[in-house]
Structure 1
């Protein structure tokens, strides 16, 4: 029985269609949250403490620089009106003004101390990796991501839907061209539970994590420098060959989130997206059992109810 399960897992892994372990987690059961929206400005919704920190810091700095800009602009306008040639035909001449010099020295120091006092704890929170509930290793390749669930003993590759590796003979016979949106690609997206709006964002397999758990990502590269980035989580980490870096996040909301490789890594850099599905603990446990069986050939444990 184990041999049959291993053989079926191997055959499934070689297939180009979306993997079976992902079927029960298709996008139609989850809200699409972390995605760019045409015509919109600003950040994606923050679903982690790290992302909210970044948004708050951005807002603080925006308020500070807006006030400084308005203050300086007001001073310039006042000087133009008050000390223009018509109102001040005989300008005075002086070399310094001690109170003003003290003010423009102390003022910026106070502002920088305020920004530093607020931003440094945020930086430390990002860099201090907590104890992981789940550890996942992400390896950047030209041009796809490989994921390994370190504590569970399995892994898989994740390609953009429409990448050459995801095309079947039937797709090519139908006229599909890799990395090109056409009717065949739209059909492939819809078969995986996505829509044409998720083109260039959706992958054939997604990282699946439970909501509210601490996820530690170990990030590295196999060839050139890549970067694992998910804006809604507020995380970005370069994947450098020969080095193992870490980032962490804890998503507070179930949904589908998208990211991209954020380091120019070659001609197909634009076709290297990241898809993360944040699900309930029950859905994660169900997916984990199927993933172990499919990717590692580890059969699921069946619970048989005893007869009364």
Structure 2
């Protein structure tokens, strides 16, 4: 393979730039030309493609977001849109494509793979919801952003003797809420993977008050409901006044942690190695700190599984 492309798609995540840098530099190291596809699949369809050199990815490893930009693209969900993308890749002589992104990005790479075009998926999303890898690029940075916010919110919750509800991202996965709640010492965590019992939550809050606890932190994953919706339900059940903090897109930004930079560098380089070996249609990941790769079609057929033992532990430690 003499020429490959790289794109970022879907929601941005800290560490995407580090992954792009790894793809470009590993490819050039191996004598392969690299072309950047700007604005995701939308840019692919429209031919927004430029050659990248070593200097193109200088001084980006520490930056959040993505230098290639990203965009949603409904057209690429159609066979016609996918064919347009392949025509652009062929026009530029690009023989393989590295796709950095989340679930939707993988589905685009899967579609290209099924049409006979070699792609490799690199998991980049703060949601940590991609099958075939224990961690996704951006998860650790987003987690630390949430924990920092929780620590600050706890200061004011303590000062005002109040219960605060913190809504976090994660789509339909509870990883961000669970890890942040456990690390931040939250009294209650609501995740999509487990049904919550309002009576149990109310009982736990009451027991805490009875032993002199005057403030609490409740983490709500957006896949369960909004923080404001939960606050209304909690007030109805307990008559408890709360304050709601919706962290929103702040969770996607910021300089990636060392962990995310290293993970992105390893996964991006591994993706290039696979294409160089002529092994397209793969998805790369990390398991037990070892690089792994799966058939991208088989990987998407699996479900992301949350560690419910951690959820059980969070309840035991927040008595």
Does TM-score exceed 0.5, indicating one fold? no
Task: Please give the TM-score of this superposition, normalised by the length of structure 1.
Answer: 0.21
Which structure is richer in relative contact order (CA contacts within 8 A, separation 6 or more)? 1
